[in-house]
Structure 1
Amino acid sequence: MKRLSIAIAGCGPAGLAAAILLDAQGHEITIFDQFDEPGPVGSGLMIQPSGMAVLDRLGLAGETLARGARVDALLGLEEHGKAVLDAPYSKLGVPGAFGIGIHRASLFGVLLEAAQARGIAIETGHAVTGSTLDAAGRRLTFDSREPTAAFDLVIDATGWRTVFDSEPKGVLEFGALWASLPTLPGDPFAGNLLEQRYRRAAQMVGVLPIGTRKGETDPEVAFFWSLKRANYAAWADTPLDEWKDQVRALWPDTGVLLDRIERREQLTFAIYAHRTQHPPTRERMIAIGDAWHSASPQLGQGANMALLDAWGLARGIEEGRTLDEKLRLAVNWRRDHVWLYQWVTRLFTPLYQSDTDWHPAIRDRLLAPLSQIWPTSRIQAQLMSGLFGFPLGPLGLTVPDYEALSASASRS
Structure 2
Amino acid sequence: MKRLDIGIAGAGPAGLALALMLSRQGHRVEILERFAEASPVGSGLMLQPTGLTALDALGLLPAMMTLGSRIDRLHGADATSGRTVLDVRYDALSGGRFGLAVQRAALFGVLHDAVAAAGIPVHTGVTLAAATTLGAKAVLVDASGRETGCYDLVIDATGARSTIAAGATTAPGVRELAYGAFWATLDSDGLTHDRNALTQRYDRAKVMIGILPAGRARPAARDHVAFFWSVKVCDANAVKMAGLNRWKAGIRGYWPDCAPLLDQIDDWDQLTLARYAHRTMRPPVSGRVAFVGDSAHSTSPQLGQGANMALIDAATLAQALSVTDNINAALAAYGRARRNHMALFQLLSLAFTPFYQSDSTALAWLRDRLVATIARIPPAPALLASIVSGTLIDPFAAAGLEECDWHAVRAQPLAENALAMSA
Using the alignment, how far apart are the partners of 1:170 and 1:272 within structure 2?
A: 9
Is structure 2 residue 152 aligned with structure 1 residue 148?
A: no
Using the alignment, how far apart are the partners of 1:125 and 1:253 within structure 2?
A: 42
Using the alignment, how far apart are the partners of 2:144 and 2:369 within structure 1?
A: 55
Residue number among 215, 223, 237 corresponding to 1:219 in the alignment: 223
* Residue in structure 2 matched with residue 74 of structure 1 by the alignment: 74
Using the alignment, how far apart are the partners of 1:210 and 1:18 within structure 2?
A: 24
TM-score normalised to the size of structure 1?
Answer: 0.97
Is structure 2 residue 278 aligned with structure 1 residue 274?
A: yes
**Deviation digits for residues 211-270 of structure 1, max 9, x if unmatched?**
011164310000000000110110121210100011111111111110111111110000
Using the alignment, how far apart are the partners of 2:44 and 2:68 within structure 1?
A: 10
**Deviation digits for residues 324-379 of structure 1, max 9, x if unmatched?**
11111111111100000011111100000000111111211111111112111100
Indicate if the aligned counterparts of 1:212 and 1:220 stay in contact, CA closer than 8 A: yes
Is the partner of 2:236 in helix, strand or coil? helix
Is the partner of 2:277 in helix, strand or coil? coil
* Residue in structure 1 matched with residue 250 of structure 2 by the alignment: 246
Using the alignment, how far apart are the partners of 1:77 and 1:65 within structure 2?
A: 28
Indicate if the aligned counterparts of 1:320 and 1:329 stay in contact, CA closer than 8 A: no
Q: How does 1:109-188 map to 2 (within 5 A)?
A: 109-135=109-135, 137-144=137-144, 146-166=146-166, 167-184=172-189, 186-188=190-192
User: After alignment, is 138-147 or 38-47 more displaced?
Assistant: 138-147
* Residue in structure 1 matched with residue 104 of structure 2 by the alignment: 104
Is the partner of 1:197 in helix, strand or coil? strand
Using the alignment, how far apart are the partners of 2:390 and 2:134 within structure 1?
A: 39
Indicate if the aligned counterparts of 1:126 and 1:145 stay in contact, CA closer than 8 A: no
Shift of 1:136: 5.9
**Deviation digits for residues 141-184 of structure 1, max 9, x if unmatched?**
11258312320000011101011233442111000000000011
**Deviation digits for residues 289-326 of structure 1, max 9, x if unmatched?**
10000010000000000000000000000112311111
* Residue in structure 2 matched with residue 84 of structure 1 by the alignment: 85
Residue number among 374, 380, 388 corresponding to 2:378 in the alignment: 374
Using the alignment, how far apart are the partners of 1:57 and 1:116 within structure 2?
A: 18
* Residue in structure 1 matched with residue 306 of structure 2 by the alignment: 302
Equivalenced residues, count: 410
The ranges of structure 1 where at least 4 consecutive aligned residues each deviate by more than 4 angstroms after the TM superposition are none
Using the alignment, how far apart are the partners of 1:239 and 1:133 within structure 2?
A: 50
Is the partner of 2:302 in helix, strand or coil? helix
Using the alignment, how far apart are the partners of 1:358 and 1:392 within structure 2?
A: 38
Using the alignment, how far apart are the partners of 1:71 and 1:39 within structure 2?
A: 25
Residue number among 272, 294, 316 corresponding to 1:290 in the alignment: 294
Using the alignment, how far apart are the partners of 2:94 and 2:410 within structure 1?
A: 17
Indicate if the aligned counterparts of 1:136 and 1:150 stay in contact, CA closer than 8 A: no
User: After alignment, is 357-366 or 133-142 more displaced?
Assistant: 133-142
Using the alignment, how far apart are the partners of 2:103 and 2:46 within structure 1?
A: 9
User: After alignment, is 164-173 or 83-92 more displaced?
Assistant: 164-173
Amino acid in the other structure paired with 1:171: E
* Residue in structure 1 matched with residue 265 of structure 2 by the alignment: 261
Amino acid in the other structure paired with 1:251: W
Q: How does 1:354-369 map to 2 (within 5 A)?
A: 354-369=358-373
Q: How does 1:298-337 map to 2 (within 5 A)?
A: 298-337=302-341
TM-score normalised to the size of structure 2?
Answer: 0.94
User: After alignment, is 380-389 or 214-223 more displaced?
Assistant: 214-223
* Residue in structure 1 matched with residue 169 of structure 2 by the alignment: none
Residue number among 323, 346, 353 corresponding to 1:349 in the alignment: 353
Using the alignment, how far apart are the partners of 1:407 and 1:279 within structure 2?
A: 40
Identity score, percent: 43
* Residue in structure 2 matched with residue 229 of structure 1 by the alignment: 233
Show structure 2 runs of 5+ residues with no match.
167-171
Is the partner of 2:66 in helix, strand or coil? helix
